[in-house]
Chains A and B, each alone.
Chain A
């Protein structure tokens, strides 16, 4: 559908998109979720949308697969306005990972992963091959294929969610706080896997999070949003940290927090440990 090469290197462009939802009651004012937001996502890169709750991240993400229609403005994929594409066909070409994996409870792990290849017309054997390959890629044991989602841990379900989204090798992957519900250790593992997968497949990814350390770890480009999808800064992780554009960005990075001051302490084995204001270890100091 949109794998043909175009002159531009941007895969997804948001052109002054606005989304208003009808208010909760007839007399209530409309809710403006996103107002006049524009940005682009480069082909083969990870763009992270970060920002506090309710700033319109999910709304922007869902505009890409037409689960949300912009009230005004356009979303282009490879230069083509997606408003003219068949939404069902479009969704079958775009991977989508939800916050709690969103696995279909009545289908096994294998059946869940096979959904999109099957919808796109793959035979059972072809789909089976995709399933095996994807399980391997997200490092899940092959014998997990016949389990039902209710029999998985949160982290395993999340891996299956990623595997399912990537099973038909989409050019675009949308992820909405995919690792929010798993513990920090598993999260770090999943993030690393995602970076590896992106490297291997060259997928263009749009990733939503409100965890700044996750954003800094994953993003080639980070877009920091304030309420109504207002872009506060759009930069590489390094630029964002080294040159925060304003106080909002500094606050979000936690640079101004009172208890962010770090101290050093010498441990019994003679190493220098860094501790935060509460005495919690933050790491060890090493001479560069």
Chain B
């Protein structure tokens, strides 16, 4: 406990970095997955390749990816952008299928109704299809959030700061309290973000009486 009170600043900084790297990645993964998943839904012929292809992104081992990315982007080895990009790719891998499932779940009756009412193009996408696909997208997003927050720690191995830094540092210096703090905060952060998503879902989708 002593270690925690003496190193509050280090802990808060690690937590801050962790949030600053994982939240943009989660948002970027969502923004990229929506068009990809929608395409998979609209083009049944290509839906297999799009979903499987993006899912395979998850098979890329994380350390090599973090080493190759800076070479491709020209950013420094310890630049946070490497982690954000890597986490975004993993997020896309998990989310495209949920997005496609979400759009596919809209009943043909509802689609016909929207057409008959005179919805057109983008407005129909934004105000009918996206909200109706949202509950299933949210389920996927919760998995992505947990996985992103967990994976974000990997950057610490290469010296990119995050809660993972507390494990690597604690491991090197044999401080159990530091390792435990890292683990507990990572789990806690994941739990809080998940709870936030559930609350957000309830607020944005009041027609859904049971968001699990």
Beyond A98-B112, A103-B113, A105-B110, whether A89 also contacts B118 by CB under 8 A is yes
Q: Report yes or no: A91 in contact with B207, Cβ–Cβ below 8 A.
A: no
Residues of B within 8 A of A107 (CB): 207
Kindly state the separation between the CA atoms of A92 and B114 in the bound complex, as whole angstroms: 11
In the assembled complex, 7 residue pairs joining A and B whose CB atoms fall closer than 8 Å, in A order, are A65-B116, A67-B115, A67-B116, A91-B117, A148-B206, A149-B207, A150-B207
Q: Report yes or no: B118 in contact with A104, Cβ–Cβ below 8 A.
A: no
Beyond A88-B120, A150-B209, whether A106 also contacts B115 by CB under 8 A is no
Beyond A105-B132, A106-B131, A148-B207, whether A91 also contacts B115 by CB under 8 A is yes
Kindly state the separation between the CA atoms of A102 and B113 in the bound complex, as whole angstroms: 6
Q: What does the 1/0 interface line of B192-206 toward A look like (CB < 8 Å)?
A: 000000000000011
Q: Report yes or no: B116 in contact with A119, Cβ–Cβ below 8 A.
A: no
- Range of interface residues on B (Cβ < 8 Å): 10 to 19
Kindly state the separation between the CA atoms of A92 and B128 in the bound complex, as whole angstroms: 16
Q: 9 extra interchain contacts, Cβ-Cβ under 8 A, other than A103-B113, A108-B207?
A: A92-B117, A98-B113, A100-B109, A102-B109, A115-B117, A116-B117, A116-B118, A119-B119, A149-B207
Residues of A within 8 A of B205 (CB): 106
Kindly state the separation between the CA atoms of A148 and B131 in the bound complex, as whole angstroms: 14
In the complex, how many angstroms separate the beta carbon of A180 from the nearest chain B beta carbon? 14
Residues of B within 8 A of A96 (CB): 116-117
Kindly state the separation between the CA atoms of A63 and B172 in the bound complex, as whole angstroms: 74
Q: Report yes or no: B109 in contact with A119, Cβ–Cβ below 8 A.
A: no
In the complex, how many angstroms separate the beta carbon of A39 from the nearest chain B beta carbon? 22
Q: Which residue of B lies closest to A89 (CB)?
A: B118
In the complex, how many angstroms separate the beta carbon of B8 from the nearest chain A beta carbon? 45
Residues of B within 8 A of A103 (CB): 113
Find the residue from B110, B113, B115, B128 having the highest chain A CB count within 10 A. Answer: B113
Total contacting residues, chain A, CB less than 8 A: 24
Q: What does the 1/0 interface line of A94-137 toward B look like (CB < 8 Å)?
A: 00101010111111100000011001000000000000000000
Residues of B within 8 A of A104 (CB): 110, 113-114, 128
In the complex, how many angstroms separate the beta carbon of A115 from the nearest chain B beta carbon? 5
Kindly state the separation between the CA atoms of A43 and B101 in the bound complex, as whole angstroms: 45
Residues of B within 8 A of A106 (CB): 128, 131-132, 205, 207
Q: Report yes or no: A102 in contact with B207, Cβ–Cβ below 8 A.
A: no
Q: Which residue of A lies closest to B121 (CB)?
A: A88
Q: Report yes or no: A67 in contact with B112, Cβ–Cβ below 8 A.
A: yes
Q: Report yes or no: A98 in contact with B109, Cβ–Cβ below 8 A.
A: yes
Residues of A within 8 A of B109 (CB): 98, 100, 102
Residues of B within 8 A of A92 (CB): 117-118
Residues of A within 8 A of B132 (CB): 105-106
Q: Report yes or no: A88 in contact with B118, Cβ–Cβ below 8 A.
A: yes
In the complex, how many angstroms separate the beta carbon of B170 from the nearest chain A beta carbon? 47
In the complex, how many angstroms separate the beta carbon of A100 from the nearest chain B beta carbon? 6
Residues of A within 8 A of B206 (CB): 148
Cβ-closest 10 pairs across A and B: A102-B113, A92-B118, A91-B118, A96-B116, A88-B120, A148-B207, A106-B131, A106-B207, A115-B117, A119-B118
Q: Report yes or no: B110 in contact with A102, Cβ–Cβ below 8 A.
A: yes
Kindly state the separation between the CA atoms of A106 and B117 in the bound complex, as whole angstroms: 15
Find the residue from A89, A92, A106 having the highest chain B CB count within 10 A. Answer: A106
Q: What does the 1/0 interface line of B114-136 toward A look like (CB < 8 Å)?
A: 11111110000000100110000
